[in-house]
Amino acid sequence: MTSRRLLLSLAHPDDESFGSGGVIARYVATGAEVSLICATNGDVGTVTPDMLNGYKSVSELRLAELACASAKLGFKEVVTFGYRDSGMMGSETSRHPDCLWQAPQAAVTRRVVEVIRDIKPQIVLTFNRYGGYGHPDHIAIQRATVDAFKLAGDLTYETAGQQPYQPQKLYYTRIPTLMMRLGLWLLRLRGEDPRQLGKNKDIDLIEILDHIEPAHTRVNIRDYYDAWQEANACHASQLGGGTNQMPLWIRRRLSGAQSFTRVYPEPRYNKIDEDDLFQNVQVD
């Protein structure tokens, strides 16, 4: 194996596109093998009835959207765990016995370890400790992935027929602080409550901003917005596939890069010191 390999460990169909589509498109275009763990089927996502035409369930629709986006982005491999979507924290759906939030963390961790040992990524990327916007599924897969990152190289941690493999770097995704603060300003200008956003009024923008972690790596993705937008459009049942976002030329100007928090190796200082996730990585 002599390729650069990146694994994203995320929760829902659409997390790969809405959150990280630009950086995925960049690394695929420049020859890296990028793979994805999608832990749930997105069963609880809000979907209008007309979107279900031709589909037996919300999960079938959302997995079809994931397949579309994956083809647009060019993933090497997509691994789905099949857990039930938990919905937001404190909801009735978050108490369902089959949802990711209720799954034993050790069991989810083992599944992530198995994927790491199979794919052998040098880089692993997951959510921050708040799960980006406080979603329990994001938090659950984040915790499992952090544990799996450490255990994958542990000689004493056995998985069937697999050898230990230790990835070299672990990152958290970051929500763009500038865009969030601009959004907060606009909301207050319109007299809207930033603590009650989204269709179900269960997104708290203040909490999101309070939990954004330091940036250590800034990757230029200005040339990859078109591919990113194509992948977003696949997820038409969620937020209109991102079509209601601000125009691409404005996004390119305001956010021509995606920033990440480097968890391992631990940074000496909380400042930008990389422009490439693969910086200082040994390609085996």
pLDDT tens digits, residue range 57-89?
999 999 999 999 999 999 999 999 999 999 988
pLDDT of residue 1 exceeding 60, the answer is no
When pLDDT is averaged across residues 110-130 and rounded to a whole number, the result is 98
- Whether 243 has a pLDDT exceeding 60, the answer reads no
- pLDDT band with cut points at 50, 70 and 90 for residue 251: low
Whether pLDDT at 144 is above 70: yes
Please state, in angstroms and rounded to a whole number, the distance separating the CA atoms of residues 261 and 126: 10
What whole-number distance in Å separates Cα of residue 153 and Cα of residue 166? Answer: 4
Mean pLDDT rounded to a whole number for the chain: 91
Structural domains of the chain in order of their starting residue, each with its CATH number = 5-175+212-264 (3.40.50.10320), 178-211 (no CATH)
For the chain, what percent of residues have pLDDT higher than 70? 93
For position 173, what pLDDT does the model report?
96
Pairing relation of β-strands 257-264 and 217-220? antiparallel
- The percentage of residues in the chain with a pLDDT greater than 90, rounded to a whole number, is 73
- Please say if the pLDDT value at position 240 is more than 70: no
> What sign has the CA pseudo-torsion 236, 259, 124, 109?
negative
Tens digits of residue pLDDT in 23-62? 999 999 999 999 999 999 999 988 888 999 999 999 999 9
Mapping DSSP to helix (H, G, I), strand (E, B) and coil, where does residue 95 land? helix
pLDDT of residue 16 exceeding 70, the answer is yes
Strand, coil or helix: what is 156? coil
State the pLDDT confidence band at 183, using cuts at 50, 70 and 90: confident
Q: Is the peptide bond before 265 cis (omega within 30 degrees of 0)?
A: yes
Q: Which residues, including other chains, have CB under 8 Å from residue 254's CB and lie 6 or more apart?
A: 178, 179, 182
Average pLDDT over residues 124-146: 96
